[in-house]
Amino acid sequence: MSKAAELSYSEHSGGDSLGKHPPLILIHGAGGSRLHWPPNLRRLEGEWVFGLDLPGHGGSLGEGERTIEGYVEGVCSWMDATGLDVGVFVGHSMGGAISLTMALEQPARVAALILVGTGGRLRVHTTILELTSNPETFREAVELVASYAISPQAPSRMIELARARMSETRPEVMYGDFLACDQFDVMDRLGEISVPTLVVCGTEDQLTPLKYSRFLVDSIPDGRMVTVESAGHMVMLEQPGEVAQAVKGFMDEVYG
């Protein structure tokens, strides 16, 4: 079975923008799924939106990957299979690494970038790598990652749901994701990115702090940034309305 055939995804029709704006392609982060994007982004009014489950995540088959380049290959195969020539890549955390690599290695496929809670390099703490490498300590790993990923101001129900969804990911898949993140580094190539780029970051993000986003904006020639107050790494779940508004505003600015 090809990587493309293994990918599960949702599609929102796009309304008036269909054929006028490129489609938005939502790429989730490590150990996540398309459900890590809130409904008002997966069904953003007036936009054509695809929400992907990467291989081994959510409803997609496969074993996951251990490199960002492996995930890029899968996304490209999915685009070929679905007949999409180009898209606006919206990537969260590891999904941002995939989106940046798409822009650098497959520039003809990338119309613009929206980078959420990510960076040009994504080093992973050795404790997280150690805990995710062992199924016996996987639950401890989920607790640790969740404690860093969600702002303490977030509703307790959201924190519980984030833990539950993360726990659904197989340990070996999450470990592979964190290995892929730890190896990722395009900091010295960001100046090669020529497409319009929006960077979104929560002011309380502990995993990819605000300085990561500032570096992206300073390094990408056509970059601009939106900060979201009192939101952590899962900024799109903590403040879905504000993030959706930023994405829609960017699309209308770039494409009219």
* Amino acid letter, 203: T
What's the token pair of residue 164? 């539950």
More confident call, 63 vs 224: 224
Band (18; pLDDT cuts 50, 70, 90): low
Degrees, nearest 5: CA angle 71-7-75: 35
Mean pLDDT over 198-220 rounds to 97
- Give the rounded percent of residues in the chain with a pLDDT score beyond 70: 96
Weakest-pLDDT range from 26-30, 166-170, 212-216: 166-170
Q: What kind and span of H or E run contains 198?
A: strand 197-202
Band (147; pLDDT cuts 50, 70, 90): confident
Reply yes or no on whether the pLDDT at 250 is more than 50: yes
What's the token pair of residue 107? 């520039």
**pLDDT tens readout for residues 108-145:** 999 999 999 999 999 999 999 999 999 999 999 998 99
Degrees, nearest 5: CA angle 43-200-183: 105
Pairing of strands 48-53, 8-13: antiparallel
Is 0.85 topped by the overall pTM?
yes
Residue-level pLDDT at 170: 93
How far apart, in Å, are the Cα atoms of 194 and each of 70, 91, 110, 190, 197?
A: 23, 17, 10, 9, 9
Closest CA to 204 of 235, 158, 250, 170: 235
Residue 163 near residue 146, CB atoms below 8 Å: yes
Residue-level pLDDT at 125: 93
Residue-level pLDDT at 3: 44
What's the token pair of residue 58? 């959510």
Residue-level pLDDT at 2: 38
Residue 226 near residue 198, CB atoms below 8 Å: yes
| Domains delineated in the chain | 3-255 (3.40.50.1820)
Residue-level pLDDT at 4: 46
Q: Is 164 exposed, middle or buried (0-12, 13-18, 19+ CB in 10 A)?
A: exposed
Mean pLDDT over 186-209 rounds to 97
Average pLDDT of the residues of the chain: 93
